[in-house]
Structure 1
Amino acid sequence: MKMEMTELGPMKRALKIEVPAEEVAQRFVQAYKELNRQVRVPGFRPGKAPLALLEQRYAKSVEEDVLRNIVPDFYGRAVRQAGISPVLVDIPPLERVKIKKDSPFTFTATVEIKPKIELRDYKAPNPISLKPDKRSVGDDQIQKGLEVLREQHARLEAAPDGHTIQEGDFVILSIEGRLDGQPLEGSKKEGHLHKVGSKAPLLGLDVDAHLVGKHSGDQVEITQPYPTSHPDNRVAGKSVIFSVFLTGVRIKKLPDLDDEFAKDCGSYASLTELTDRLRSEMEKALKREIEDSYKDTILKRLVETHHFDLPETLVERELEAIIRQYMQQRQRRAASGDDGGATEDLEQLRQQNREEAGRRVKVGLLLEAIAEKEQLTVSQDDVNHEVHRLATELKMPQNELVKMIQSGGQDAIEELRARILADKSLDFVYRNAVIQG
């Protein structure tokens, strides 16, 4: 095979590939042998039809079959010979390519390639230097954690007689709306528990301001005007009078911080044991936070100290992924009524996110290069561990997550393995970094 590589730009190469005549001839021989075994020609036993007859009847289909096999085969050989890593391949359509069985076959493939990265300053003798993060879990944070647990285990108890309602109290109320002195259908609610100060609307009403200072057994009337543009024609341009009956008041009772409280929180024999467990969990969480912060710094340093051109195809793919994720989030917000009616121009979004897309591609290429240089690999145990971690994080059965990944085909599996490999590369740099002090 002959191969000539021409540089078309920083990230593009043209590969002119010539397949020897003897190789072409051999491919045609193999193709006709296979065809002879498969087709039935009247007057001849299977596999015994003359080659000339087969060529007369099936020449075009055999040529197409040879092309479908010989082009990717020799393209792959050419890439290995050239020592390049393609990102995008542009091979001419087969219908535009001509091949003759006794002549050399020449075709040209245009490829966009990954850059060659000269790695530097990520391990000894020049490791990345990090400033020490000396944060620790203090007693005040432990106390706040205990207070959160107290809130989670609080009980609602009946307020004493004469209690004046204030923010934080819970009231049991019933409400009914009247329009022109008559009950309004759909405006009645009974036995509703409402936290005063939560600003949670009740039948579209802000009731908090009308409850503070009241007592159990009181009745409050709220007049609610509606604009003429209101979608409910019954109330459009009119006012509805809502009668709110306060049938009960509950106050939050926090449990005492004692051994009994600890037992209510789980399998803890004492408050000391619960506190020690809380401290341990908070220290683990802080350790993960500090490690993530270190790794963010490492990625920033890698990006700053390595300079190379980025394949435009990879940047475009990443940019499309960012836009797609943004649009999915926006659709979810719109479905929940939380998007505020926002609209964005797609081209503007692309411009705003192009730099981030480029940064992500650069990080990915750097971590891939480190993995290759350090001969890091992904084992099946690595995959199993990551699937277990994701299932735990997403709170879903592991077998369901496996089915979800498999439904995405080979691309989804390769994407998972690539992400695991990137994490292993980043861990490698982190373990080789030096924390000052």
Structure 2
Amino acid sequence: MTMKMEMTELGPMKRALKIEVAAEEVTQRFSRAYTELNRQVRIPGFRPGKAPLGILEQRYAKAVEEDVIRSLVPDFYERAVRQAGINPVVVEIPPLERVKIKKNEPFTFTATVEIKPTIELRDYKAPNPISLKPDKRTVTDEQLDRALEVLREQQARLEAAPAGTLLTEGDFAVVDLEGFLAGAPLEGTKKEGQLHKVGSKAALLGIEIDAHVTGKKEGDVIEIPQAYPASHPDTRVAGKTVQFRLVIQGVKKKTLPALDDEFAKDCGPYTTLQEIKDKLRTEMEKALKRDIDESYKDTILKRLAETHHFDLPETLVNRELDAIVRQKLQERQRGKATDPAPAATAEEINAIREEHREEANRRVKVGLVLEAIAAKENITVTQEDMNNEVNRLATELRVPVADLVKMIQAGGQDSIEELRARILADKALEFVYRNAVIQG
């Protein structure tokens, strides 16, 4: 036996593995290391590979010791974990400089391991499957009508209103706008032929024009004085009043097409309005089914979290919290259209962590339960599963598949494992869902 091992409990989720490698194994590794070294180094006065061991030991002892430790520790740590029958989350191996090794003597080191809990699985399939309340939502005629209206809006046309039509909310005005200072045109303040929807509150050159155009007609000219504060960054207008001249060049009204077979032909490869309605209903029913499936699965996840009780590995909870913090900070950045958001302070990050700790605990717990179900039911992730998920993600993120594969590979083994773990959890959840019973 080349190894002895003692395991000590350091807490519910921590174990110390004291590992002793036998002297003959240590000697063998030293011998291999010196043979390899002899092939690589050139010692003056000796042919390659023929330098005496004594000289090599004098010159390279420290480097060889480190090499031997580097090869022994992971090797025997792996064996010890298998022998102990534990499922490690994270392993702390002592730093090289703290470990001592000598030829012809046993080598001892201690690895600290945080382990995954042993999970006693509760009901998730027959004879005691999870029962779900029926979700009886259906696609209503009102929803279908609303979807048709959206299509109708998309096919709407803008047409010139009869002469003399006064602008009201929902109409469109074609306007020219120009600023004048002391009677002279102000450079950079000219807009021509701008289409403005009355009531949209959209600003033109910083001026909200809704109030000025409402009740006006084609051909009207409106003067709008605009005073600027002395602190305004544009020195030409700071502390002055600019006269804006707004000319209404045209009044347009939106006309919606009639809901008939002609409308259907304009919308795409359809010949009748009924075809469009059938297609819309099918799409809406598919989307509703996905929605119902998702809400059933959410209920299952809640139930799995409520019925299983075990200690959670702190490392996994912290990893989940790190991911949540990253996501929240990215969302904050996306909210800032142009300027980068200021870097988050340590206090802000801690606040996010505390606020989402419960959620992180829930995610880790459910993840471990689904992993245990996958192991018990022999659910695995195939290469085809991986390819399908990459294709799905690429479509969702609107990036080419090859680019997404590069991004995942750039994240190294961890990214690939993360993707595999997520697919495995989804497949285990799908298994529980298929085995659930919908009452009534």
TM interval, shorter chain, is over 0.9
**CA–CA distance in 2 between the matches of 1:394 and 1:9?**
43
Match of 1:5 in 2: 7
Cα distance, 1:401 vs. partner?
2.1
Equivalent residue for 2:385, pick from 371, 382, 386: 382
393-402 vs 12-21, which deviates more?
393-402
Match of 2:439 in 1: 436
2:400 is the alignment partner of 1:397: yes
SS of residue paired to 2:204 = coil
Which residue type is aligned with residue 183 of structure 1? P
SS of residue paired to 1:345 = helix
54-63 vs 71-80, which deviates more?
54-63
Cα distance, 1:135 vs. partner?
0.5
**CA–CA distance in 1 between the matches of 2:226 and 2:306?**
60
Q: C-alpha deviations, 1:359-404, integer Å up to 9, x for none?
A: 2222222222221121111111111111111222222322222222
**CA–CA distance in 1 between the matches of 2:11 and 2:180?**
76
Match of 2:88 in 1: 86
Which residue type is aligned with residue 414 of structure 1? E
CA contact (8 A) 1:172 1:191 kept: yes
Equivalent residue for 1:409, pick from 407, 412, 426: 412
CA contact (8 A) 2:91 2:113 kept: yes
Equivalent residue for 2:171, pick from 169, 188, 208: 169
**CA–CA distance in 2 between the matches of 1:94 and 1:361?**
32
Q: Which runs of 5+ in 2 are unaligned?
A: none
2:96 is the alignment partner of 1:112: no
Q: C-alpha deviations, 1:256-275, integer Å up to 9, x for none?
A: 11112112211112111111
CA contact (8 A) 1:122 1:429 kept: yes
229-238 vs 32-41, which deviates more?
229-238
Q: C-alpha deviations, 1:20-48, integer Å up to 9, x for none?
A: 11111111121122222222233333323
Change (3 A) 1:347 1:125: same
Match of 2:327 in 1: 325
Cα distance, 1:341 vs. partner?
13
RMSD (CA atoms): 2.1
Equivalent residue for 1:195, pick from 180, 194, 197: 197
**CA–CA distance in 1 between the matches of 2:294 and 2:221?**
55
161-170 vs 345-354, which deviates more?
345-354
**CA–CA distance in 1 between the matches of 2:132 and 2:296?**
7
Q: C-alpha deviations, 1:72-116, integer Å up to 9, x for none?
A: 111111111112122221111111111111111110111111111
CA contact (8 A) 2:99 2:109 kept: yes
63-72 vs 172-181, which deviates more?
172-181
Alignment of 1:273-292 (within 5 A): 273-292=275-294
2:406 is the alignment partner of 1:427: no
CA contact (8 A) 1:7 1:14 kept: yes
Change (3 A) 1:338 1:145: farther
CA contact (8 A) 1:84 1:113 kept: yes
Cα distance, 1:419 vs. partner?
1.3
Which residue type is aligned with residue 365 of structure 2? K
**CA–CA distance in 2 between the matches of 1:190 and 1:30?**
84
**CA–CA distance in 2 between the matches of 1:57 and 1:332?**
58
TM-score, length-normalised on structure 2?
Answer: 0.94
Match of 1:55 in 2: 57
**CA–CA distance in 2 between the matches of 1:353 and 1:183?**
57
Cα distance, 1:148 vs. partner?
0.6
Equivalent residue for 1:185, pick from 183, 187, 197: 187
Cα distance, 1:143 vs. partner?
1.1
Q: Percent identical across equivalent pairs? A: 73
Which residue type is aligned with residue 325 of structure 1? Q
376-385 vs 232-241, which deviates more?
232-241
Equivalent residue for 1:219, pick from 218, 221, 232: 221
CA contact (8 A) 2:333 2:340 kept: no
Which residue type is aligned with residue 431 of structure 1? R
Match of 1:242 in 2: 244
Change (3 A) 1:114 1:155: same
Which residue type is aligned with residue 298 of structure 1? I
Q: C-alpha deviations, 1:263-295, integer Å up to 9, x for none?
A: 221111211111111110000000000000011
CA contact (8 A) 1:334 1:341 kept: no
**CA–CA distance in 1 between the matches of 2:82 and 2:238?**
74
Which residue type is aligned with residue 398 of structure 2? K
**CA–CA distance in 1 between the matches of 2:14 and 2:313?**
9
SS of residue paired to 1:382 = helix
